[in-house]
Structure 1
């Protein structure tokens, strides 16, 4: 943990502004810009880049990924320039929280992966690059975005200890816990072998009653 030098009032303001910045749902914005419909009715219903990709529009997904990462990185870099490391870590935590619990989306949001990578790159670029490389390696090998995120997050604290000064190790652990909480359903599907792979276009699910009716008609 860094030494707390900044007055608590300024840290509170930083937390609020970072949360609001993190709350901007770029997935929803890109879905509207590209005419992709209501993102809440696609795939998992969250607002992250992976769910945008399930619409089949790779450009919109790439922009969502970049913007979700950039908002976290910007919050950290601005806070660090104005206040130092304590402000940067507060900004990282609350920008991430804003993304996964967006006030603009009734406290729903994405899974936090892009914003996590953005804040890690801004906090310590060697750590961020290691997390990005881990994500890419696991994703390319398994084709599971969720598994790649879980592995990258789990290793982030180790990367902080070996590639940085260790000041953000508790922050990385906190972010990892939140990522695992947000991926609880994905973890269950990974165990069952039903987790969709990267690039698989989403098909809206039929209501439960309709599904049962179709099953009955087959019998």
Structure 2
């Protein structure tokens, strides 16, 4: 199989992997309400935290990161170039955002994008996780933490392994664009803070 065909195959597989909604499946397995119809309506870890608690949210976070990490890491082991890795990682995120298995209505893609970045190296993964945690604790806004971490990710990558700045920048751009509604709610003071309680406001 030539390089182009292999890349296309991995892009398709990455999209299909991303289309598996961890939030919906975890909620079904645990007898929790459908995250698309409760809380913020967003099928992601933050909303599952609100409606199902910490353990369920951790499961969603882990599997959302895994479905981004596996296609990226396998493609890396195949020796694909940075541009191909970027398209494959983006495909996984687009699968999460527009899942073919769930009427193309998915989450923000944050955990999947960070998972796709993680195989670049432990140092980058630690920087991303630490930045997100610190910002959530300081601001109590998951959206602010996600956007700021995404913004910083290409700079961390430039510092740690400049070969992968392009794919990381592609993923960061998707994350920030997906948070345009959150930016507007932050501007008018209606953005929800991180909480395990149910809320009616969007996250």
2:105 match: 108
**Greater relative CO (CA pairs within 8 A, separation 6+):** 2
Unaligned runs of 5+ in 2: none
- Per-residue deviation at 1:204? 4.7
Q: Which shifted more, 116-125 or 154-163?
A: 116-125
In structure 2, distance between residues paired with 1:187 and 1:204: 18
- Structure 2 residue 17 is matched with structure 1 residue 21: yes
Equivalent residue for 2:149? 152
SS of the residue corresponding to residue 89 of structure 1 reads helix
Q: What is the rounded CA distance, in whole Å, between the counterparts of 2:123 and 2:91 in structure 1?
A: 22
- Equivalent residue number for residue 9 of structure 1: 5
On the 8 A contact 1:46/1:109 being kept in 2, the answer is: yes
Question: How far does residue 89 in structure 1 lie from its aligned partner after superposition?
Answer: 3.3
1:75-86 matches, cutoff 5 A: 75-86=71-82
What's the TM-score, normalizing by structure 1? 0.85
Match of 1:197, SS?
Answer: coil
CA distance in 2, matches of 1:173, 1:191: 25
The equivalent position to 1:69 in structure 2, one of 65, 68, 75, is 65
1:48-106 residue CA offsets vs partner (Å, 9 max, x unmatched): 10111110421111100011001111111112223434454333221111111111122
- Does structure 2 retain, via aligned residues, the 8 Å contact 1:150–1:179? yes
* Structure 1: gaps of 5 or more residues: 1-5, 206-219
Give the RMSD, CA atoms, in angstroms: 1.7
